[in-house]
Amino acid sequence: MFGVVPDRGLHRRPSDVLRVLAGLVVFVIGTVGAVHYSSWERTAHDVVSAVPRPVLRVFGFANGAGLAIGIGVVLVVAVAVRRPRFIGAVLLAIASGGAVAVALQHLIDAPAAVDAASRGLKDYPQYPAVGLVITAAVFFVAAPEITRPFRRLLTWSLVVVAVGTIAEREGYPSGIIGSLALGWALAAALHLVLGSPDGMPDPTEIERDLAAIGEDVTDLTVSRSQTWGARSFTGRRGDDHVRVVSIGRDATDGQLLAKLGRWLWYKDSGPGLALTNQQEIEHHAFLLLLAERRGVAVPRVELAARIGERRDATLLATVADGATFAAEDHVEVTDAVMSSMWSELTKLHAAGIAHGGIWAGQFRSRDASSVEFTDLATADGDPDDDAMLADRVALLVTCAELTTEDRAVAAARTALGDDGIVALLPVLQTSALSRVNRRTAGNAKKRCAALRTAIAASTGTEAPKLTELRRVAPSSIVIAAFTVLGIYLLIGEFSHVEWGSMFRGADWWWLPAVILFAQVPILGLSLSVLGSVSKKLPLRPVLLLEVGTKFTGLAGGGVTTIALQVRFFQKQGLAAAVAVTSSLLNSVASGTVEVVVLTVAILTGAGSFHIPSSGAGGIASKVFIVAAVLAVLTAIAFGIPALRHRIGGLVMPQLRSAWGNLRGVMRDPRKGTLMLGGNLLSQVFYAMVLWAALHMYGHDLGLMQLIIINTVASVLGGIAPVPGGIGVIEAGLIAGFTAAGVPDQAAIATTFTARLFTAYLPPIWGWLSIQWMRHRDLV
C-alpha cells in the first residue's frame, strides 16, 4: 500500500510543462469564480452543509487533523526510503504551497472583492485555501515516487479534504477547484526543477522485451545524448553495433512543446507533429529508410514496433562501430572527414530531408575518411529552403568547433562553392543553431561572427545584414508582459480616486513649482553624462539627448536608449563603446549617491516609516511582497552554482570594467564632481517635485524622507523590466507616502501630479527633441 517505485534516475517530463500551464489556467478560472460570488456557489455550499452532522464531523476531521496526517504519512515514507530528493521535494511543496497561497490571499483578497461584509457573508473564505494548496502540492509532488495503490489512496484523500474544506466553510466550489489546480501546478513546477522518477524502461527491460520478439540484443547502455521524452541506448546484436530508441507517451508532449516554442520564437516552426508515440516511431523509421534508399549513410532500420507490457514504441537500428565526433570521444577530424560530412548532408537534402539538429554528436565515424549520421530523430521530411540553410550553417559551425574557422570555411567552399557559402551569410547566427549546437559550440555568437568575417574575406564579399529568423525576441515578450503589468498596476492605483473632489481642494499656486522642479533632474543627468566621457562635449546637445531618452525609455526600454546614446556619441566622434561605458559609469555613480543618501538618512533618523495595517497599507504590503519575491528569486539564482556562474560570467566583467572606468574618471576631480554632483542634483530635485506636489494637497514631509521614498520606488521600477517603470514606481511612491503618514487620497494625488511631469508628459517633448537632433545630424 505504501510502496515506492524503483529509483532509476531522474527525468524532466514535457508533460509537466503542460500541467503547469493547465493548472495556472484553471487557477485563473477559479479566481474569477472566487471573486464573483454567484448563487450556484452558495447552492453547492448549502448542499454540502446539509449533510448529516456525523458526516460533517468526518469531513471536518479530514480538513484538520486528517490533512496533517496525510502529509505526515507522505513525509514518513520519503524519510523511510532514504531519498533526499523525495524528502526535499515534499518539504519544498509544503513551503512553496504555503508561501504562494498566503501571498495570493494578500493580493486577491476575495472577501473584499465580493464585498462580503455588505452582502452578509461574514465567513466568506480567503482564496486560495492554504491547507488545500499545501495538501495538493504535497500529494501531487509525491505521485511519481509512489506505487499505484498509494496514489489512489492519496487521490481519494484529496477528494475528502476538498469536500471537507467546503463543509468547514473555508471555500466555495470554484475556489476549491482553483486551489487544487494551484497545488497541481506547483507540484509540476517542482518536478521540472528537481526532476522525478522518469518511468522509462531500463536497459534490462529493453533487452527482455526485445528477446521476447526474437531480437537478441545485449550490452545495452544509455546513450549520452538524449531527446526530450525518449530514451536511446547503444548495444550489440551479435557482431553488429545497434542503437535502440524507446519512445514513451512523453515524447509527443515534448514534440508539441518544441513545436509550440519554435512557432512562438521563430518564423520556421520546424517539422510536423505526431499524435501518438507509434506515429512518431513510424515516421522516424520512414525517414531513415528513405534516406538509406537515396544513398545517405544512416543507421539501418531493423525493427519499429510497440513492445513489452508498457507498449513503448521502439526502434532498433544497426549502426557503424565507430565513435561519434562529440568532444568526449576525442576523434580526429581531417579534411576528408569534413568533406564526408558535407557530402552526406548534401545527399540528405537531395532526398528532400532536413536534419534539424546537427552537432558533432550527430556524426559517427565509419572509417578514417567517411562518416554516417547517428540518427534522424529531429528530421523534417517536408522542409523549406530556410531549414536547408539552417542545416548548412549548423554543419559549418560544427566543423569550426571541431577544427578551426579557416578550415571549416575551406571545407564548406569546396562542398558548396562560393555562391553557396555566401548564401549562408544572412543566416549565419545563433538563432539558426539547435540548442545542443549552441551549447557545444562554446561562445556560439562569437564563433558565428568569426565565420562571417572569414567567409567575407575568403570570397571577397561584404557580409550582408543578418536575416531576422526569430518571430519575436524573448526580451520583447518580457517587456510587453511587464508593460501590461505596469499599466494594470497604474490603473489599479488610480481607479478608486475621486478626481473631482481631489483636485477641487488643491492649491494650484504650487503647480508652477512642480513643473519647474521636474525639469532640473534633466540638467543633473546631463552633467553626469558630461562627466562620464573623456571628450569635452557641449551642454545643449547633451541636454537634448537626455530629454530624448524620456521617449526611448518609454517606447523601447533600455536597449533603445543605449542605441540612441551610441548614435549620439558616434556623431560626436566617439566610439560606440563609450555609450555603454558611460551608461555603466552613470549607473555606478547613481548607485553610490543612493547608498550614501540612504545611509545618511538612517543615521539621522529620517528613515523611520510606519506601515499601516489597512487601507493603502495594502499597496505597501504588495510592494513589499514583490520586493520579497525578487529577493527570494535572487537568492535562488545565486544558490544554483551553474546559474550563479553564468550570471557572474555575464555581469561581473561589466561591473569590473565600470568600476575601473569610474576610478579612472574619479582621478579627474572635475569629471568626478560632474558625475556625482549631477546624480545628487537629480535625486534632490526629484524629491523636490514630490515636496511641491505634496504641498498642492496640503501635506508636507521632510526632504530626506522624500529622497528615501523616491529612491526606493526608483529601485523597484528599475528592477522590473517595465519601460519607464510605469505602474511599479507609482505603487512604490504611494506605499512610501502612506507609510510616512500621508492619507490615501493625498498620496495618490501627489503621485499622479509628480509623475505627470516626470514620466507621462516628458516622452512628448522627448520625441520632439529626437526629431530636432535628427534634423541637425546629431543622431
> What would the mean pLDDT of 630-644 be, rounded to a whole number?
58
What pLDDT is stored for residue 615 in this prediction? 42
> What pLDDT digit, counting tens, does each position of 583-599 carry?
667 777 777 787 787 77
Distance CA 173, CA 10 (A): 36
Among 351, 352, 361, smallest CA distance to 394 is for 361
The residues, any chain, with a CB within 8 Å of residue 519's CB and separated by 6 or more, are none
- DSSP H or E segment with residue 745: helix 744-755
Residue 630: pLDDT over 80: no
> What would the mean pLDDT of 628-643 be, rounded to a whole number?
58
What pLDDT is stored for residue 22 in this prediction? 86
299, 321 contact by CB (below 8 A)? no
What pLDDT is stored for residue 341 in this prediction? 94
Among 362, 360, 344, 350, smallest CA distance to 399 is for 360
Look-up: residue for cell 520519503?
Answer: 78
Distance CA 375, CA 362 (A): 7
What pLDDT is stored for residue 619 in this prediction? 46
What pLDDT is stored for residue 407 in this prediction? 92
> What would the mean pLDDT of 496-503 be, rounded to a whole number?
63
DSSP string, 284-353: HHHHHHHHHHTT---PEEEEEEEETTTTEEEEEEEE-SSPB-SGGG-----HHHHHHHHHHHHHHHHTT-
Reported as a pLDDT band with limits 50, 70 and 90, residue 289 is very high
What pLDDT is stored for residue 660 in this prediction? 58
> What pLDDT digit, counting tens, does each position of 411-470 carry?
999 999 988 998 888 888 887 777 777 777 677 888 888 898 889 888 888 877 777 665
Burial 258-270 (b: 16+ CB within 10 A, else e): beeebeebbebbb
What pLDDT is stored for residue 159 in this prediction? 74
What pLDDT is stored for residue 6 in this prediction? 59
Instruction: Tell me the Cα Rg of the chain.
Output: 32
Name the residue type at position 721.
P
Reported as a pLDDT band with limits 50, 70 and 90, residue 288 is very high
Between 245-259, 436-450, 498-512, 557-571, the lowest mean confidence (pLDDT) is in 245-259
Reported as a pLDDT band with limits 50, 70 and 90, residue 614 is very low
More confident residue, 731 or 245: 245
What pLDDT is stored for residue 349 in this prediction? 93
What pLDDT is stored for residue 708 in this prediction? 83
How many percent of the chain have pLDDT more than 70? 67
Q: What is the DSSP letter of 266?
A: B
DSSP string, 756-767: IIIIISHHHHHH
Reported as a pLDDT band with limits 50, 70 and 90, residue 344 is very high
Phi, psi dihedral angles at 452 (to 5 degrees): -60, -40
Among 336, 332, 315, smallest CA distance to 323 is for 332
What pLDDT is stored for residue 616 in this prediction? 43
More confident residue, 286 or 658: 286
Under DSSP, is residue 368 helix (H, G, I), strand (E, B) or coil? coil
What pLDDT is stored for residue 426 in this prediction? 86
Between 509-523, 533-547, 603-617, the lowest mean confidence (pLDDT) is in 603-617
**How far, CA to CA in Å, does 351 sit from each of 57, 92, 219, 374, 394?**
71, 51, 34, 17, 19
> What would the mean pLDDT of 489-518 be, rounded to a whole number?
72
Residue 634: pLDDT over 50: yes
More confident residue, 200 or 759: 759
> What would the mean pLDDT of 491-517 be, rounded to a whole number?
73
What pLDDT is stored for residue 116 in this prediction? 61
> What pLDDT digit, counting tens, does each position of 130-142 carry?
888 888 888 888 8
More confident residue, 33 or 255: 33
Task: Provide the greatest CA pair distance for the chain.
Answer: 96
Reported as a pLDDT band with limits 50, 70 and 90, residue 336 is very high
- Indicate the pTM of the whole model: 0.55
More confident residue, 327 or 692: 692
More confident residue, 639 or 405: 405
707, 687 contact by CB (below 8 A)? yes
- Mean pLDDT computed over every residue of the chain: 75
Q: What is the DSSP letter of 465?
A: P
Residue 399: pLDDT over 70: yes
The residues, any chain, with a CB within 8 Å of residue 98's CB and separated by 6 or more, are 130, 133, 134
Under DSSP, is residue 380 helix (H, G, I), strand (E, B) or coil? strand
Length reported for the chain: 779
> What would the mean pLDDT of 608-618 be, rounded to a whole number?
47
> What pLDDT digit, counting tens, does each position of 684-736 carry?
888 899 899 888 888 888 888 888 888 888 777 766 656 666 777 777 888 88
Residue 558: pLDDT over 70: no
How many percent of the chain have pLDDT more than 90? 7
What pLDDT is stored for residue 618 in this prediction? 47
Reported as a pLDDT band with limits 50, 70 and 90, residue 613 is very low
> What would the mean pLDDT of 607-636 be, rounded to a whole number?
51
Instruction: Print the SS3 string covering 67-124.
Output: HHHHHHHHHHHHHHCCCHHHHHHHHHHHHHHHHHHHHHHHHHCHHHHCCCCCCCCCCC
Among 559, 560, 571, smallest CA distance to 535 is for 571
422, 458 contact by CB (below 8 A)? no
